[in-house]
A and B are shown apart, each in its own frame.
Chain A
Amino acid sequence: MSGVLGLLWLFLLLAVAGWASAAIASSLLSHYMFQARLPPAERARRSLTLAAIPLLASSTLLVAVAFMALGKAVGWVVDHCVWHAPGHPHLCFEHLPAISLGTTEAAVALTILLAAGWRAGRFICSQHQHRTQTRSLLHLSPGTGRLRRTSDELPYAFAADAGAPCVVMSRGLLNQLDRRQRRIVLAHELAHLRRRDLILTTVIEWLLLFHLPSAARRIRHAWQQALEERADDLAAARYGRAAVAETLLRVVRLHRGQPVPGLAASGADVIRRVDRLVTTPAPLTPGPIVSGSIGLTAALAVYLASTHHFLETMLGYLTGYS
């Protein structure tokens, strides 16, 4: 039993080390990867990639090491170390490590697992509560098909997906926009639903649970900005960039001086959206670095797993069993 616990402890340390390294790398990259001139689709792709890296690095490393450990146990890999002392940490399912876990190790392991569980649990609860309230709001908003209307005089519109995707527009907004502007707002929101942006946002928020807070904020903001700009482009393809920009500015004017609640501070920058629609800067051609980063992360994790003597030595120093 102590051997199994010892192995689990080593795997936990590996997972945390993989996560920490990748989270720091992702955090550093997030400062440089979201230039405004990149097309929004590329920025969205980069957001998703950077968000996935810590979890991917950690899980790939674990899977690769577990594969090696299994390989040793079933004889695929004949590679038992002869240089290390008998008590040395050994990543092998046949020879379990002779590590006895003390109070400190148990406390650290419990803290890590509880912290991760707490974050995930809190996220699940808040999302459940939010979806329940969105569903209640949709019950209160009459309408047919994809468009719902609220009787609220405050001007707002949003796409919602709490089971049945739809667009909600307030009477306050509908009454103060002309027919073309209403269609532009609807086209923009429908673009979110068609591209399943809300589902992808849920995925990215799950991935951001495993990030440093500052990096999570940067990636989230880049993601939101990219989604809004992409939806603007889809509406502009039909109605023209100037018309979409004009509608955005009109809604901004309507919001000013009104107690319209906004989304969290990570929401998209409206001024950047308008600026982009009216100035149309020359787009940057994205390089291969991000598209290759997932493959690089996976390759690095597999390489590290193959250098298991090095890993075992490092784990030995970390656990005091060198």
Chain B
Amino acid sequence: MAGALSNLPPLGDLEVAVLEVVWQSECSAKEAHELIGKRRGISLNTVQSTLERLYRKKLLSRHKAGHAYRYSALVRREELVASYIRETMGRFGSDAATSLAAFVDSVDDIDNATLERLEEIVRIKRQRGASS
């Protein structure tokens, strides 16, 4: 399967739902519609268009089987999530990300001695808190 995507396409809710089906196993538009179309109240045409869009976004591959295409995933779920994480949380020049706030940012500059010193202080503080 392909590695991390370099040019991440945006994904809508329906596209992800269709991807979840294809990640389970290769399928045709009709099979995908059987699984999610009725539950969501969407037509076969809508599912077909979604599969076509995902194919053009290079997330799916397809081959002809009879009269219909069968689709399979080009990127695993974990790889796709990892790519989005890298894009949304990664460094992109001087542009600051404003739509998310991480619990811990980059820890590149933290040395072991500092970490151990702080861990020791915290351990003592917790012990004092437990004994008082």
- A-side interface residues toward B, CB under 8 Å? 123, 126-127, 130-137, 139-141, 150-154, 156-162, 168, 170, 185, 188-189, 192, 197-198, 201-202, 205, 213, 220, 224, 227-228, 231, 240-243, 245-246, 248-249, 251-253, 255-256, 261-268, 270-271, 274-275, 278-279
Return chain B residues, CB-CB under 8 Å to A152. 78, 81-82, 85
A132 to B87, CA, bound (A): 11
Bitwise, B87-127 to A at CB < 8 A (1) or not (0) is 11111101111111111111110100011001101110110
Most chain-B Cβ atoms within 10 A of its Cβ — which of A141, A188, A241, A274? A274
Does chain A have a CB within 8 A of B10?
yes
| In the complex, chain B residues whose CB is within 8 Å of the CB of A227 | 101
Question: B108 → chain A, closest Cβ, in Å?
Answer: 7
Is the Cβ of B99 less than 8 Å from the Cβ of A150? no
Contact indicator A267/B102 (Cβ below 8 Å) = yes
Contact across chains for A136 and B125 when beta carbons are under 8 A apart: no
Nearest CB of chain A from residue B22's CB, rounded to whole Å: 13
| Given A255-B107, A262-B106, A262-B108, also A127-B126 (CB < 8 A) | no
The answer to whether B103 touches A188, judged by C-beta atoms less than 8 angstroms apart, is yes
Is B8 close to A, CB under 8 A? yes
Within 8 Å of chain A (Cβ to Cβ): is B53?
Answer: no
Which of A188, A201, A271 touches B110 (beta carbons < 8 Å)?
A271
Stretch at the interface among B11-19, B30-38, B39-47, B65-73: B11-19
15 contacts between A and B (CB under 8 A): A127-B99, A130-B95, A130-B99, A136-B8, A136-B84, A139-B11, A161-B99, A168-B100, A240-B129, A252-B107, A262-B90, A262-B106, A263-B106, A264-B92, A278-B118
Given contact pairs A151-B77, A156-B89, A270-B105, A137 touches B84 in the complex (Cβ within 8 A): yes
Number of residue pairs A-B, CB distance < 8 angstroms: 180
Q: Tell me the complex Cα distance, A135–B114, Å.
A: 37
Which of these, A154, A168, A249, contacts B118 with CB under 8 Å? A249
Instruction: Determine the distance from Cα of A144 to Cα of B6 in the docked complex, in whole angstroms.
Output: 30
**Given A201-B101, A249-B115, A261-B89, are A266 and B96 neighbors across the interface (CB < 8 Å)?**
yes
* Contact (Cβ within 8 A) B99 A270: no
Closest CB in chain A relative to B58 CB, distance in Å? 15
What separation, in Å, do the CA atoms of A57 and B1 have in the docked complex? Answer: 56
Chain B hits for A248, CB < 8 A:
103-104
Measured in the bound complex, the distance between the Cα atoms of B125 and A240 in whole Å is 11
Cβ-defined partner of A130 (8 Å) among B16, B98, B101, B114: B98
Min CB distance B86 to A, Å, is 5
Beyond known contacts A151-B81, A198-B100, A263-B96: 12 more, CB 8 A cutoff: A137-B88, A139-B11, A139-B12, A150-B85, A152-B82, A201-B96, A231-B101, A246-B126, A249-B122, A262-B89, A264-B96, A270-B107
